[in-house]
């Protein structure tokens, strides 16, 4: 009886690990493959025999994409668009989320519901009207215009996320601050924001990653070099008759570096933000 119990538990453990490893392989496999490919010379990539581990490691792909294409411009554009998107979201979204969390006004719940509803429409449906609007106001093919477009679908998400963090901060703290001499806005900035800091970081990183990786809006709303972002740029490197695998892989690796760096820096705050309320009663 005892033995069969133990062996059953062992079997369950093995099964668990098999499932987890399979999932991990599916998640990490493409990344690893991309990384390995980026280190191979072009001749070693397309071969008759599958070659997993590069036989001789080269950085020529990285040099090529950085010097012989407009990749630096693409990355810069992406950085600018992402930064502007995050900036708009943080400023307006924080104020909005605070208002939704603390003030009672007519239509509050309906507006929040509306924000959720917007997320349910496929992005493709919104692109054409958005394109027409952007063209009317002359914001097509501009980095600011693209950031505005991103804001239009990321801001509702940001407000929803942040409202949850604000709701978790005790209201009495602001009451205390208001009696101590703060204005309502002052109480928010001095008392509530430091408390919701982790949530703010987590929500901002979420927005930043979404904006950084966005493809369809960028493809539709940018036409020239001046505002094109890296996902579109990489896509356009795929020609009809040639497919520069190595260079594309190097571009991919370079593009996820900023995201990884961002994660490394804010990782602690973000994990705390995402689990806030889970452990504190």
Partner 1 sequence: MATLSLKDVRKSYGSVQVLHGIDIELEDGGFLVLLGPSGCGKSTLLNIIAGLDETSSGDIVIGGRSVSNLPPKDRNIAMVFQSYALYPTMSVERNIGFGLEMRGTSVDRRREAVARAADMLQVTHLLDRKPANLSGGQRQRVAMGRAIVRDPDLFLFDEPLSNLDAKLRVEMRTEIKRLHERLGTSIVYVTHDQIEAMTLATKVAVMKGGYIQQLADPRTIYERPANMFVAGFIGSPAMNFLRGRLGRGKSGWQFMAKDICLNLGRSKEKLEEQEVILGVRPEEFKVVHHDIAAAFHGKIDVVEPTGPDTMLTSLIGGQSVIARVGPRFAGRYGDDVSFTVDPTSVNLFDPQTKLRITW
Of the candidates 129, 172, 240, 264, which one interacts with partner 1 according to CB under 8 A? 172
Does residue 29 bind partner 1 (CB under 8 A)? no
How far is residue 68's CA from residue 46's CA, in Å, rounded to a whole number?
A: 21
Piece of 130-138, 179-187, 213-221, 229-237 that binds partner 1 (CB under 8 A): 179-187
Place of tokens 């020529």: 60
Q: 138: burial class by Cβ within 10 Å (0-12, 13-18, 19+)?
A: exposed
Does residue 178 bind partner 1 (CB under 8 A)? yes
Does residue 259 bind partner 1 (CB under 8 A)? no
Piece of 118-126, 146-154, 175-183, 230-238 that binds partner 1 (CB under 8 A): 175-183
Q: Least distance in Å: CB of 201 to partner 1?
A: 15
Of the candidates 181, 224, 239, 281, which one interacts with partner 1 according to CB under 8 A? 181
Of the candidates 96, 155, 177, 276, which one interacts with partner 1 according to CB under 8 A? 177
Q: Least distance in Å: CB of 106 to partner 1?
A: 12
Q: Least distance in Å: CB of 112 to partner 1?
A: 20
- What's the number of CA atoms in the CB half-sphere (13 Å) around residue 87? 9
How far is residue 218's CA from residue 231's CA, in Å, rounded to a whole number?
A: 8
DSSP H helices, the chain, are 2-38, 42-45, 60-68, 71-102, 108-120, 123-136, 143-168, 171-180, 184-187, 193-195, 197-213, 216-221, 230-237, 245-274
- Closer residue to partner 1, CB minimum distance, 13 or 180: 180
- Closer residue to partner 1, CB minimum distance, 51 or 175: 175
Does residue 175 bind partner 1 (CB under 8 A)? yes
Does residue 278 bind partner 1 (CB under 8 A)? no
CB 150 within 8 A of CB 211: yes
Does residue 277 bind partner 1 (CB under 8 A)? no
- Closer residue to partner 1, CB minimum distance, 138 or 181: 181
Of the candidates 180, 263, 267, 275, which one interacts with partner 1 according to CB under 8 A? 180
Of the candidates 30, 170, 226, 277, which one interacts with partner 1 according to CB under 8 A? 170
Rounding to the nearest 10 degrees, give the CA dihedral for residues 39, 41, 43, 47: -10
Of the candidates 34, 73, 126, 173, which one interacts with partner 1 according to CB under 8 A? 173
Task: Extract the tokens encoding 97.
Answer: 């989320």
Q: Which long-range contacts (CB under 8 A, 24 or more apart) does 271-276 make?
A: 272/198, 273/165, 273/197, 273/198, 273/199, 273/200, 273/201, 273/202, 273/203, 274/202, 276/165, 276/168, 276/198, 276/199
Q: Least distance in Å: CB of 178 to partner 1?
A: 4
In the stretch 183-222, what mask flags binding to partner 1 with x, by CB under 8 A? x--x----x--xx---------------------------
Rule CB under 8 A: which residues touch partner 1? 170, 172-173, 175-183, 186, 191, 194-195
């Amino acid at each position: 009886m005892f033995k069969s119990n133990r062996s059953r538990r062992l079997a369950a453990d093995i099964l668990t690990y098999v499932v987890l490893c399979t999932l991990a392989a599916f998640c990490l496999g493409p990344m690893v493959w991309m990384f390995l490919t980026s280190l191979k010379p072009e001749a070693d990539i397309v071969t008759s025999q599958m070659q997993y581990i590069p036989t001789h490691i080269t950085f020529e792909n990285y040099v090529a994409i950085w010097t012989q294409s407009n990749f630096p411009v693409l990355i810069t554009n992406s950085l600018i668009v992402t930064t502007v998107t995050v900036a708009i979201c943080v400023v307006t979204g924080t104020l909005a989320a605070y208002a939704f969390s603390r003030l009672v006004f007519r239509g509050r719940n309906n507006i929040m519901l509306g924000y959720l509803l917007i997320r349910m429409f496929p992005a493709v449906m919104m692109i054409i009207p958005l394109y027409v609007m952007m063209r009317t106001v002359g914001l097509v093919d501009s980095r600011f215009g693209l950031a505005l477009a991103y804001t239009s679908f990321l801001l509702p998400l940001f407000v929803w996320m942040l409202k949850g963090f604000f709701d978790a901060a005790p209201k009495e703290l602001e009451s205390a601050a208001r009696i101590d001499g703060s204005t309502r806005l002052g109480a928010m900035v001095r008392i509530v924001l430091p408390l919701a800091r982790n949530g703010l970081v987590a929500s901002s990183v979420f927005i930043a990653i979404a904006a950084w990786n966005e493809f369809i809006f960028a493809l539709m709303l940018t036409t020239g070099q001046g505002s094109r972002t890296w996902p579109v740029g990489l896509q356009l490197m795929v020609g009809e008759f040639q497919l520069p695998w190595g260079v594309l892989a190097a571009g991919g690796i370079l593009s996820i570096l900023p995201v990884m760096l961002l994660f490394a820096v804010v990782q602690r705050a973000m994990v705390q933000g995402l689990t806030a309320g889970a452990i504190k009663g």
